Every structure is written in structure tokens, then in C-alpha cells.
Chains A and B, each alone.
Chain A
Amino acid sequence: MRHILRQREWVADEWRYLDEDPGSAAGVPLIVPWAQLRAAPERWRGRAGRLGAHLAPADRVEELAAALPDLSLVAVEFPNPGDGRGYSHGRLLRERLQFSGELRAVGAGVRQDQVFLLARCGFDALELAAGEDPHAALRALGRYDVAYQPGAPQVALRRQRFFAPGN
């Protein structure tokens, strides 16, 4: 069974992606690509069990606004470490759309050297890339205890320079 780092705990992942389990039993928490969710919201909203959306880098995160009350999870895809669009998705979901469910980073770009910044953008769940050591990732979350910019409460800092009016 897949494990993820959720709020700094290495836990079994109860969620399934649609393509892993197309005929998943009712009640199993299911992550559906945002493009499919957007195309047929009624179909997925009526299903028993928690619902998550899987956001690709090029998706427009603002379009999730109306769907968010039905979503317990948003998984943001990081196809490689160099594609930084998901960092903006994370902050917008937390800050502008006020999403308070699980915000998960997933993909080949989710490596120990990215997790600190991901957590600062509001990601509280990290589905690490294949081969990544969870202990190393956990340590990496504590690599810095200071920062200049405002950031998400997922990282506790000893000192910070700049603050935002609304954080």
C-alpha cells in the first residue's frame, strides 16, 4: 500500500486515483482528474465516499472555487522538480480560495529537496517520488528555521522577516 507524509507522519494512503481503480467500490476515497470532474460534476458529486481533485500544472486553479465545498482533497501534480506552477496553485488554494482540506503534492518532482518550499506554500501532504526516503524528507522539512517571506502555517519558523496583512 502506498504511504505518504501527511502532517509529518508516514501513513498509509487510503485514497485511490481514478486511473488506478476505475471501478472503485463505493465509499473508497477517490481522486479524479480535474478535467473530468469539471466536465461532469454531478456524476462525481453523487458518488458515495470522499472526493478529491487532481490538478495538472496547466489547469486554472480559480475554476475549482465552486467545486471546493465537495472536495476533501486537492492533489497538485509536480511532473518534475523544475515545473514550479504547482507552488502557485498551492498558495492560491490556501490563501485565495480558503481551501482547508488535504493539499497534496504528487509526482516525480516531489523530492526531499523540494518539500520545505512545498510546505511553505500550504501543502500538508507529500506523496514522495519513487525512491525518495521519507526520513530524509522529514528531516528536510526542518532544514530551515528562518525565512524572509510570509508562508503557510505548515512550517513553524523561528524568525521571519516580512509579513502579510492577512496571514
Chain B
Amino acid sequence: MYRYDELDQALVDQRVAEFRDQTRRHLAGELSEEQFRPLRLRNGLYLQRHAPMLRIAIPYGLLSSTQLRKLADVARRYDRGYGHFTTRQNLQLNWPKLADVPEILAELATVQMHAMQTSGNCVRNVTADHLAGIAPDEVDDPRPYCEIIRQWATLHPEFTYLPRKFKIAVTGSAEDRAASEVHDIGLHLRRDAHGQIGFAVLVGGGLGRAPVIGVCIREFLPLPQLLSYLEAILRVYNRHGRRDNLNKARIKVLVKSLGAERFREQVEAEWQAGREHAALLPPAEVARVRACFAPPPYQALADSDVSAGREPAFQAWYRYNTRAHRVPGYRAVFVSLKAHGAVPGDMSAAQMEAVATLAERVSFGLVRTTHTQNLLLADVPQRELYRLWRELAQLGLAMPNIGTLTDMIACPGLDFCSLANAGTISVAQQIQQRFDDLDYLYDLGEIDIKMSGCMNACGHHHVGHIGVLGVDKHGEEWYQISLGGSATGFTALGEVIGPSVPRAEVAATIERIVETYRAVRLDGERFIETLRRVGLAPFRERAYAAHPAAA
């Protein structure tokens, strides 16, 4: 993984000192809440429903065991002993004290971590495919480029006060596992005819109020020009993006109002005019960062069928919670944060510490967070899997449900977030209870449920096979159901199937939807494939069939 050099460390340390001073001034009454707000947001600090919330950056989802231990330590000493992993691969602490935050940031800086730009109208944490570096179908490892973009975007002198938040994702595989097409900028690694690395550049994707899929404005951007081109896009956006209406301030609105072609022309013109003064990415710097992501020292092992003859519970876990690896003898292992009865994405300090130790033993001391709110041990020797399974099971982290209906994404919802209209945690638990039979889950196969407590769509509900959106109806929590979204393979936005349902009816409605699937599916057909084949009508019809309460 990337290791800070003296520059990186100095910058983070100076940032901590700056925020310590800003917090002191705020607490002393020298900075009003209005003045403090943009400053604290750029250090990941929200003021939430019950307490402040601190969002700690996990750049492109990569953590060392040392860092995970520090997160556990911070959660225990400054919070209530747990944290919440988010769809941007970050970690949120829900109960820190404002006055403690500078100290928390100082602690994080000792392990090369920070909370810079995890909120506010600036370039946010750059995300990547959680299988980066090990996926068999990869053009190149996206993480070095994520790290380079992270550095370029950090405290950017020109782009720290954008019209709105700005999200970038990089993917190196044919299968998009980073939801890059619903990002402000999505970068797809490519090689040209000479084998040179570059990127296809997608702009203007996004979820939130008006979900839209990004448009490609450049088929191949050569790597040395990566930063100058990003700079051109950001400059056009910073100057011309709307600032009069928060709901129309994302770059997708600018791209739409200009039209993709005119937007592209403006970016290309800006790029040509500005290249002399924009950062150039020299090969030596690329090589330095790439070297940090060199493959770990794998042993020469052979693939073997380690599940043969083992008990069915292990076989199920092996099938659902592990993935192929491009190195023989290894598998990637999901640490499920979706145990039934638990809050999706939550993890206790004790679990973090235990996983940090397991990672040191079986996966080169590295842990990844996924945008589906699980963890991943990326490089586990197959011969370690059985023992690892038993250990994860003891920790409550081996729920064999990855990719199934109960591997849901959910934002924190009304229980924590001051933006939310409705709760998500109790609904997730209601769904887990109703679908608690593993054989039934396995029969349903791959189904993505994504749930957001409001239009801001932190739970990515638009791109769930089944999307659940919390809405406020005269002070009551109701839920709108959409079908047909997809974030992998090719990106698609779901369609709302009808009136919203009351909270108590969400799981039952979903059950009627999946029962419809069971009734009409062809042999071996996945849920999303059936949806695409037969359309929404039969689902719409039956979802509400036994349901006079819906309004």
C-alpha cells in the first residue's frame, strides 16, 4: 500500500494543527457556527441528530492492520466502541465529542490517516474496485492512480470551494465494481495500441435527486495528462456550475444544461489553454507510487478444492464469501458486516482488532473496505480458509450471504443522520428477519437491495436491483420501492414501481416481489435478468396485490 513520505506526513500534521486552531477559535466564540461549518466539513465533521459525526477517510478502501487497530482504538476511547463503514469505503464515528476531534485527527495522523475532504463541497475520497490488484479481468491496478488523484485533490488551491461535492472513482476492470458511471468523474483504465496506459473519462454521473449515468467525453486520455485534464474539468465546473440552488449544483446539471458535446468542447479548450500551468504527471512519480502497490510476496501454491468433504456451512461460506484470485492457491475473502440482526456496515472495536490480527496472519496485514459495506481480506492462501472461517464465525463475521438479498447497502438513516426522512436500520433488520432462511436466500440467488433514508441517496437506492427510499409522509416514515437498477455489469437506474408503503410493510412487499421472480424465472435466470426479460408489470401487479394499506 501507499506509504507517506515526509511531504505527505508534514501536510497531514499541518492540517491537524490548523484544525486544532479552528476548533479552539470556534469553542472560544471567535468563529461562529456558520463560519466554522465549511472548515469542519472539510475535515469530515458533521453535526448530526444526536452528536457530531466524524467521517474518516480510507483512501480507495485500503487499510493496514495497524490502521484498523488505530480505528478500533479511537472508536473505543473517543466513541462508543464501534464504527460504521460507508458506501464511499470510509469509516464513520457516530458519537465523538467536538472538542476531542483535533486529538482524534492527531491520533490518526500517527498511522498515516486523516479525515480531509470526506465532506464539504470539494473533491471527496477517491474510490476504486475492491478487487483492485487481484481481479483476473484487470487492465491495470487503479489504486496508484487513485492515490495520485488523492494527492492532487488534497488542499487544491483552486478547487477547495466548489459549487457542490465532487466524487471520482477509478476502475481497472471490464466489470465495473466501483459504480464509476454514477460518479461526477468515472475513470476507466485502458491501454492503447502501443500498450500505453490511459483512461476513458466519464463525466456527470450521479445519484441523489436526479440520478443520471455519466457520459464519456474522452475515449483515451494518456496517463501523463491525467491531472491537467481533471484540472480542466474542475475549472469549467468551478466557474460555471450553479451556485444559486443547492439541488442543481452538481456537475451533472451543468453537463445536462450545456449538453455533453458543448461541455466536452469547453473542457478540451480549457485543457489546451491551461496545460502549461497544470500539473504534469512525470513517469518517475508514477513509478514511485506504483511501486507501493506491487504484489505482495505470494508463495508458490497450487489451487485445490479445500471445501471438498467439509461441512455444508463451510461450503456455503466458501461459495458465497470467497472469490477467485489471479494467483494460484489464493482466494479473496469477504468479512461480512451483514450478520442478521446487525446494522449493515457496523463493526465493533473488538471485531476490528481481531480482523487486524487475522489479516496479519493470513493476508499480508492488509484489509480492504468495499462500497457494499463489507471488509475484504484480499490475499488468503486457500489452505488457511477453513481455520479462518471458524475464527470469523466466532467473531460474528462469517454470515454466508455476500451477494444475496441480505447483503444490503444501507445509509445510517433517521437514527443518526439529520438529512434523513426515514429510518433504514430497523427496515434492514425487518428484511433480515423475514429472509433469515439461508436456503431460501440461496434459492433467490444474487439480489442487490440498496436503501437510502432520503433523496441524497447515500445508500445508492437508484442502482439497487431492489431500491428502497425512505420518504416522509405527514411525519410518518414510508418507503418507495424501485426495481431494475444495477451498479455492476452495465449501470442502470431503477424505476419506481408504485405508491410508497408504510414501514411495517417493506419486507412483505419485497417478499411478494421475489416470490414473483420465483414464479416467472427461467432455469438459472438471475433476478435482474428476469426483470429485464419480463419487465416491471408482473412485479408491480403482485407487489401490491395483498396490500390494501398502500396509498
Point out residues on A near B: beta carbons under 8 Å.
57, 81-85, 87-88, 90-91, 95-96, 111, 113, 117, 120-121, 143-151, 158-167
Mark interface residues in B451-494 (1 if CB within 8 Å of A CB, else 0). 00000000000000000000000000000000000000000000
Q: A87-B238, A147-B157, A166-B277 are in contact. List 6 more A-B contacts (CB 8 A).
A: A144-B11, A144-B15, A144-B18, A148-B151, A163-B279, A165-B276
Shortest distance from the beta carbon of B116 to any chain A beta carbon, whole Å: 12
Main SS at interface, chain B: helix
Point out residues on B near A: beta carbons under 8 Å.
6-7, 10-11, 14-15, 17-18, 22, 35, 38-39, 121, 151-152, 154-163, 227, 235, 238-239, 243, 273-281, 285
Main SS at interface, chain A: loop
> Nearest A residue to B42 by beta-carbon distance?
A113
> Nearest B residue to A109 by beta-carbon distance?
B161
CB–CB A150/B278 < 8 A: yes
CB–CB A146/B10 < 8 A: yes
Q: Which residue in B18, B154, B280 is a CB contact (below 8 Å) of A143?
A: B18
Q: Which residue in A88, A150, A160 is a CB contact (below 8 Å) of B277?
A: A150
Given the complex of chains A and B, what is the CA–CA distance between A144 and B156 in angstroms? 13
CB–CB A88/B239 < 8 A: yes
* Chain A neighbourhood of B22, CB < 8 A: 113
* Chain A neighbourhood of B277, CB < 8 A: 91, 95-96, 150, 164, 166-167
* Chain B neighbourhood of A84, CB < 8 A: 121, 158-163, 238
Given the complex of chains A and B, what is the CA–CA distance between A59 and B512 in angstroms? 56
Q: Which residue in A85, A111, A113, A149 is a CB contact (below 8 Å) of B157?
A: A149
> Nearest A residue to B273 by beta-carbon distance?
A96
Shortest distance from the beta carbon of A106 to any chain B beta carbon, whole Å: 16
Q: Which residue in B6, B156, B162 is a CB contact (below 8 Å) of A149?
A: B156
Q: Which residue in A81, A87, A144, A162 is a CB contact (below 8 Å) of B155?
A: A144
Contact A117-B151, Cβ < 8 Å, known A96-B274, A165-B280 = no
* Chain A neighbourhood of B273, CB < 8 A: 96
Contact A88-B235, Cβ < 8 Å, known A96-B274, A144-B11 = yes
CB–CB A88/B161 < 8 A: no
Shortest distance from the beta carbon of A129 to any chain B beta carbon, whole Å: 10
CB–CB B227/A82 < 8 A: no
> Nearest B residue to A121 by beta-carbon distance?
B157
Given the complex of chains A and B, what is the CA–CA distance between A165 and B7 in angstroms? 21
Specify which of A147, A149, A163, A164 lies most central, judged by the most chain B CB atoms within 10 Å of its CB: A149
* Chain B neighbourhood of A85, CB < 8 A: 238-239, 243
List 10 contacting pairs A-B, 8 Å CB cutoff, sorted by A. Answer: A57-B243, A88-B235, A113-B22, A143-B14, A144-B155, A148-B7, A149-B152, A150-B277, A163-B280, A166-B277
